Amino acid sequence: MTGAQLLTFVLTLGAAFAVPGPAMLLAMRNTLTGGLGTGIATGAGLGLIAACWTLAALTGLSALFALVPWAFGAMKLAGALYLIWISIQLWREAGAPLGEGQTGRRRWGRAFVSGMLVNLGNPKSVLFAGAVLVVIFPAGLSLRDGALVIGAHFMLELLGYALIALTLSHPAARGAYLRAKLWIDRTAGAVLGALGLRLLLSR
């Protein structure tokens, strides 16, 4: 593996990262509701599973999904239902005041798990990672090179979501969110619900 190949991989993932989706939406809302630590914890959960999908692609899970389509379908169904569940909760609780009962490690832990679950329910990520790996890297990457690719993916995700958290944790951003919480949460709920339905109905 060359440095140019690794850089191409990082730039490709960076371009994909910039496209808004359920992961980005979750990270943004968790930051606005829980602050910087919650946003970073969400990003860590999202990044961990994204890196795991790259590991899965390196070990041939994308080929397994092609051979055993029901496994892919089961994971996709679970992810779609989870997104729809989140969207319903957001819509129902949009008018409620922002809860402050959970603080510190407990809130960060819940944010971390929510990030993991959102990306765990998107098995298409392993297909994307597999396609990117095949195009960019030579066959038969060494264990060291594979670990470097996975580590680079995790760090890219973590830094990206940390940057979002730093931006949105500013008091002005949080104040604007609180003033428009009803409509922001309902919009977020509608978008996540639509993404869940799209995942549910897609082939």
pLDDT digits (tens, 9 = 90+) for 9-41: 888 888 877 777 788 888 988 888 888 899 999
Cβ within 8 Å of residue 200, ≥6 positions away: 76, 77, 80, 81, 84
What average pLDDT score do residues 3-7 get? 85
Asked whether the predicted pLDDT for residue 61 surpasses 90, the reply is: no
Determine contact, residues 142/50, Cβ cutoff 8 Å.
no
Determine contact, residues 59/153, Cβ cutoff 8 Å.
no
User: How confident is the model at residue 193, as a pLDDT?
Assistant: 80
Looking at the chain, the number of H-run helices and the number of E-run strands are 10, 0
Asked whether the predicted pLDDT for residue 79 surpasses 60, the reply is: yes
- Answer whether 0.85 is exceeded by the pTM: no
Distance from C-alpha of 58 to C-alpha of 48, rounded to nearest angstrom: 15
Asked whether the predicted pLDDT for residue 99 surpasses 60, the reply is: no
* Residue type present at position 17: F
Which has the higher per-residue pLDDT, 160 or 9? Answer: 160
User: How confident is the model at residue 162, as a pLDDT?
Assistant: 93
Asked whether the predicted pLDDT for residue 154 surpasses 90, the reply is: yes
What average pLDDT score do residues 100-120 get? 77
Q: Which helix (H) or strand (E) holds 130?
A: helix 124-136
What average pLDDT score do residues 84-91 get? 83
User: How confident is the model at residue 60, as a pLDDT?
Assistant: 73
User: How confident is the model at residue 166, as a pLDDT?
Assistant: 92
Percent of the chain with pLDDT over 90: 13
Q: Which of 56-60, 128-132, 152-156, 166-170 has the lowest mean pLDDT?
A: 128-132
User: How confident is the model at residue 67, as a pLDDT?
Assistant: 66
User: How confident is the model at residue 101, as a pLDDT?
Assistant: 47
What average pLDDT score do residues 171-195 get? 80
Distance from C-alpha of 87 to C-alpha of 99, rounded to nearest angstrom: 18
User: How confident is the model at residue 65, as a pLDDT?
Assistant: 63
What average pLDDT score do residues 177-202 get? 79
Q: Is 116 left (phi over 0), alpha (psi -120 to 50) or beta?
A: alpha
